[in-house]
Amino acid sequence: MLADKTVINAMIERFEKSSGTLADRLLAALEAALEKGGEAGPVHSAALKVVDTVAWPVIDLRVDWADENPIAALHSLWLAYKPQMQDYLIRALDPREAPSYGVPGDE
- 7-45 pLDDT, tens digit per residue, is 999 999 999 999 999 999 999 999 999 999 999 999 999
Q: What residues contact 96, with CB distance under 8 A and at least 6 apart?
A: none
Count Cα atoms within 13 angstroms, Cβ side, for 45: 5
Classify residue 105: in a domain, yes or no: no
Q: State pTM to two decimals.
A: 0.89
The residue segments making up the domain with residue 31 are: 6-97
- Position 60 scores a pLDDT of 98
- The tally of domains found in the chain comes to 1
Any idea what DSSP says for residue 2? Answer: B
Residue 44 has φ and ψ, to the nearest 5°, of -120, -10
Classify residue 47: in a domain, yes or no: yes
Residue 49 has φ and ψ, to the nearest 5°, of -130, 125
- 57-100 pLDDT, tens digit per residue, is 999 999 999 999 999 999 999 999 999 999 999 999 998 898 88
Are the beta carbons of 47 and 63 closer than 8 angstroms? Answer: yes
Classify residue 106: in a domain, yes or no: no
- Position 104 scores a pLDDT of 73
Classify residue 104: in a domain, yes or no: no
CATH number, domain containing residue 56: 3.60.20.10
Classify residue 12: in a domain, yes or no: yes
